Chain A
């Protein structure tokens, strides 16, 4: 316990000591030869100020507690129960399960001892112990044991929490950091998260203080991130760059040229074939030759449309456009589709789907395969171009790529290694067309932008003339230039422009008085602010320009614990801490002006105001961050791309299906919150959130287009609830096979709140038989027959057996797919152009029996059984919300409060939105 209290301080002290050793940041300002003593001294002052006052009393109290925790004897009645019910198996001789009750001390201040007694309490309270085959204890006996343990465990925890807070000191996670700086500076596309070291995970989430260590690497990266942020935020010109419109054609890019030459794409103009580039084939002699020569004649630079026959690696638009100015842009794109029949253009089979990505090109980028992010999926209707519009943020060197997302990957259907056999005249099939993409921007509502005003307010931007500023070093700015192959060019910029201050110290004080409370998410004492102003003064005296001097102060602020850490006082949260905790719960970012104002006025403590703010935060678009971040961890959606399904077994899988899966789960969760649906819907519902791709995958007719929308499920449909969603089923499989154990453990831990015990060491995994001779269930039977394994597997396996109904990509199955023995597989919903290489193996047996001996025939029965215990589902979800929002696990002494949250929610209808309100209103949320 003492070490736990020391730990955060130790870490922070180590952090501070390493400042002197940190590599000098890549600073665009001219540096004077001074070490980073500014940051170090500011950091230590911040540490002393915010954390040290609590440390000494902590140490004293813990020492006293440890001294006072005597080796108390077990109460006589407890000893009697143990003697009668437990020691047959758990004495020093037998030690069943490697557990000797007689050796267990009663020093509840020891963490290991505490943990063991907690396990004893829970197993006795749940009826797991004594095991079923033994005589059942009397109710009074159970009460004696659990009552004594509850009292002892609670007392030990209270002592611990009186001395230290429940929630440990915790820094911002990577996602929180990025969102915070994005919102602070109004830079919605600022990309700093990937530059920070990965966070750990504890109790299922990265927000937990146990998961958030810090090292010199973190600090070095924070300095880099701060510099990157300030570079983007500070305006270096007097007027905004003019918003230009670039209409670009895919044809003018190298990747598309290759596809056109190969016969995997066609060139179109006004809805017809472009006469300057006739279709190739059918004779091999009529294949196009000489891509460079075609480019030289400008055949691909005529703003023609490109129609693609298959899903290829994403062709880029980078030759036409690569972003020079980071900022907001308006993107428009025109898509349509057709059916190509050996030279004839016919109506397409339906609405095809186009995907646009934003591609982040590195400096001196060559080739493809660069990191990209989904911008969206767009309908491409038959023969009628549809123009789509969206607002995007582009960083330097960003460009776009296009994928015909609903078409089959070319290597799954095409004959011919280099190009379509028979050329385009030999091909019959669907085709998705991109007419053009139009990029307009950068767009600015105001200049200087809000990011600049957050730092420099309304101070003018004037030209820095070295001759007139004797003794002052000019700020160093990187000029805007085209760093990629794009034909778009920046404007010519003349002169060096920087913010001007006639009264630098007064302005510094004023600007920091505005900035620091917003950055630190709480009021800032004058003495603290004066420290930063003093640093500005030092830089000014050293000859820095005002902008440069202020950058030092801002960078120090962005690297200080006041910014990087959640500063929460022990006990009941103060107003600022409450506003911050609320904001990071629902927006994964700092509080906005409304929350800050309410906090400052003390109104946030009012339960009605608090409830109103919960509603406001949930209704804001930023609440999507909560949905994405929470589900990403609770249901492991972050691992959706951890493995690729085997191409032979699951040829129908593609990125569009995967993205649709994730979108479904997120939309479903949002729907549960927006409609305030009950916890039963976690596992069972009469609707799903689908687009056409998922609907086809699930065998549900009548859904068209790319948009995810609420769809009533047909009678008898097995879908509905998280358990049957493809995303959940994929993250619980390995791309080739499913495992009832893995899926069962997932259901137990994530949905039912009853995580199984970890497997004993040295137990080998069961290797699935992909040849199809035996099923995983048959292989598990031998394992489950072992009595030492049965006690866990009888709980864990049944959900997994029920979920055997679904394959690794969430498709329904009544027979396993195999690549060895089996019967020919029917096509089902698989695209007719995909070659089927798998067979149908043994039948799936999705039946099972719960530990309470209730049986089920398949997934529908299973869902119905667990849906009856809504309280358990609600209880677990409440627990997950609390762990996520408070950054700590649920302690034993928290259980009563947790039960209270659930009861209050049930009394108010049991909805999930109500649950969120009750979580926020509970003492567990309102105290540290």
Chain B
């Protein structure tokens, strides 16, 4: 019954679908895409149409009338973004700990050619939690537009060089007790 409802929703969405792109906060490593997709199954109002892991930009597809059924006027983009953020947070809320691990942010206003790519090789074990720690340490810094940590613990960050540097990222990692291998 649940599957049928989902299919119907998707059908409705696809018939009257709108799309928008948002940055996803919480995509710490590639395995987190599976977590996101799994958690979004509980949100029939929207569909994850596409996802760029390196930039953490996701395309969501939805029917606005299902998304905001009580809206009297056509909702603004901000209203839709806020509603999508609420749904993603709710879906990612851990039922036991109550922590929220995914949320949505606006797309970066900085042109891509003005962003600098920084790669830092860490020596972490294959631990999702440790990768999440490294991710959060970097992602919370000003000027970090996106960051992801590979299973081989390579940190790849896109930053505004005027706001942050490689050294700042390394310092942030050290603060959470993540060290770098000696060359």
Contact = CB atoms under 8 A, between A and B. Distances in A.
B38 to A, nearest CB: 12
Contacts of A287: 177
A672 interface: no
Interface string A230-255: 00000000000000000000001000
B3 interface: no
A286 B129 contact: no
A487 B97 CA distance: 9
B122 A285 contact: yes
Contacts of B127: 276-278, 288
A293 to B, nearest CB: 4
B35 to A, nearest CB: 8
A289 interface: yes
Contacts of B128: 276, 297, 299
Interface stretch (B14-22, B79-87, B132-140): B132-140
Contact of A289 (B97, B130, B180, B181): B130
Interface of B: 94, 96-97, 99, 101, 122-130, 132-134, 136-137, 176-181
B133 A289 contact: yes
B97 A298 contact: yes
A299 B96 contact: no
A509 to B, nearest CB: 54
Interface string A274-307: 0011111101111111100111111101000000
Contacts of A278: 125-127
Contact of A286 (B96, B125, B137, B176): B125
A288 B122 contact: no
B133 A293 contact: yes
Contacts of A487: 96
Contacts of B124: 285-286, 289
Contacts of A279: 125
A207 to B, nearest CB: 51
A286 B96 CA distance: 27
Contacts of A297: 94, 99, 101, 128-129, 132
B97 A288 contact: no
Query: Which 4 residue pairs spanning A and B have beta carbons closest together?
Result: A290-B133, A285-B123, A294-B129, A296-B99
28 contacts: A276-B128, A276-B129, A277-B129, A278-B126, A279-B125, A280-B125, A284-B179, A285-B123, A285-B178, A285-B179, A285-B181, A286-B124, A288-B127, A288-B129, A289-B134, A290-B129, A290-B132, A290-B133, A290-B137, A293-B133, A294-B129, A295-B97, A296-B94, A297-B101, A297-B129, A298-B97, A299-B128, A301-B96
B134 A301 contact: no
Interface string A878-903: 00000000000000000000000000
Contacts of A277: 127, 129
Contacts of A288: 125, 127, 129-130
B176 A289 contact: yes
B181 A293 contact: no
A288 B134 CA distance: 11
B112 to A, nearest CB: 29
Contact of B129 (A252, A281, A284, A299): A299
Contact of B101 (A252, A283, A296): A296
A172 to B, nearest CB: 47
A869 B27 CA distance: 82
A296 B123 contact: no
A280 B181 CA distance: 15
Contacts of A276: 127-129
B179 A296 contact: no
Contact of B123 (A283, A290, A294): A283
- B101, B130, B178: residue with the most chain A Cβ atoms closer than 10 Å: B130
B102 to A, nearest CB: 11
A251 to B, nearest CB: 11
Given A277-B127, A278-B125, A278-B127, A295 B99 contact: yes
Given A281-B125, A285-B178, A289-B177, 15 more contacts: A252-B96, A280-B125, A283-B123, A285-B122, A285-B181, A286-B125, A289-B134, A289-B176, A294-B129, A296-B99, A297-B99, A297-B101, A297-B128, A298-B97, A299-B129
A287 B130 CA distance: 9
A298 B96 contact: yes
A298 B179 contact: no
Nearest to B135: A293
A84 to B, nearest CB: 89
A720 B179 CA distance: 59
A290 B136 contact: yes
A282 to B, nearest CB: 10
Nearest to A418: B177
A293 B127 CA distance: 11
Given A284-B179, A285-B124, A290 B130 contact: yes
Nearest to B31: A276
B72 to A, nearest CB: 35
A298 B94 contact: yes
B45 to A, nearest CB: 24
Interface string A737-776: 0000000000000000000000000000000000000000
Nearest to A279: B125
A284 B129 CA distance: 16
A287 B127 CA distance: 10
A298 B101 CA distance: 10
Contacts of A289: 124, 130, 133-134, 176-178
A296 B125 CA distance: 19
Nearest to B178: A289
A131 to B, nearest CB: 76
A97 to B, nearest CB: 72
A252 B95 CA distance: 13
Nearest to A252: B96
B124 to A, nearest CB: 7
B39 to A, nearest CB: 11
A88 B178 CA distance: 88
A482 to B, nearest CB: 14
B125 A293 contact: no
A267 to B, nearest CB: 11
Nearest to B99: A296
- A276, A280, A287, A293: residue with the most chain B Cβ atoms closer than 10 Å: A293
B126 A290 contact: no
B96 to A, nearest CB: 4
B117 to A, nearest CB: 23
A279 B126 CA distance: 9
A296 B132 contact: yes
Contacts of B134: 289
A416 to B, nearest CB: 14
Contacts of B101: 296-297
A296 B130 CA distance: 12
A294 B136 CA distance: 11
Nearest to A425: B125
Contacts of B181: 285
Nearest to B125: A286
- B94, B125, B128: residue with the most chain A Cβ atoms closer than 10 Å: B125
A298 B39 CA distance: 13
A620 B94 CA distance: 50
A816 B99 CA distance: 57
Contacts of B122: 285
A289 B177 CA distance: 6
A297 B180 CA distance: 24
Nearest to A281: B125
Contacts of A299: 128-129
A282 B107 CA distance: 41
Given A252-B96, A298-B97, A286 B133 contact: no
A260 to B, nearest CB: 10
Interface in A475-525: 487
A284 B101 CA distance: 27
A754 B126 CA distance: 71
- A276, A283, A288, A299: residue with the most chain B Cβ atoms closer than 10 Å: A288
A301 B96 CA distance: 7
Contacts of B137: 290
Interface string A654-665: 000000000000
